[in-house]
Structure formats: C-alpha cells, structure tokens
Amino acid sequence: MTDLKTQQTLFVRQVRDLVTVVSARLSATAGAEAMHLVEHNEHGEALRTLAWCVVNENTYISQQAYDELRNLSQGLVAASDMPESLAQHIKPDP
C-alpha cells in the first residue's frame, strides 16, 4: 500500500511541477485555473486545461514539457480531448 501511495505522491508532484513551469509562460488566469484543478485533485482536467491554454494563448513550451504533458495525461485524458496542434507549440531548440 505504501508503494502505491508513494507513486501517487510522485505523480501529484510531477503534475504540480509541470503546471508551475508551463504556467510561467501563460497568462496569470490560465495558470491559476490549471493550478486550481491540481489543488482539487483534478489532475487529468488540469493537464487538459494546460494543453489547451498553451494552444489558445499561442505559447511555446519545451520538448521536455511537451513530453511530460503527454506522458502524465496518458490514461487520464482521451487523445480526442487534447488539442491536435499541441506539438506545433514546442519551442524550437536554439
């Protein structure tokens, strides 16, 4: 049971960290909305909202943030509920 709790704690921390990092590139309102969902244990909805905010605000995120967003949302958010154009918002390497 402890192992499951540890995995859950790690997952929540990863979602919170990702929302914090990506929110720094979004409007204050969008970042606050995603974090509000995390705080209410709506992790899938937070990740979906974060993805849509990136696209709607025409923001660019790192490849790492994109990969984490896809990985963490897998099994929580249907692919059809994620923006199709999210990959177009990956920040090009310098």
State the pLDDT at residue 5: 83
Which residue carries 């249907």 as its tokens? Answer: 78
Beta bridge partners of 61: 90
State the pLDDT at residue 71: 96
State the pLDDT at residue 4: 77
| Confidence at 30, pLDDT banded by 50, 70, 90 | very high
Instruction: Give the mean pLDDT of the chain.
Output: 93
Q: Any idea where the domains of the chain sit in the sequence?
A: 19-88
Write the DSSP assignment of 30-69 as a string of letters: HHHHHHHHHHTT-HHHHHHHHHHHHHHTT--B-HHHHHHH
| Confidence at 2, pLDDT banded by 50, 70, 90 | low
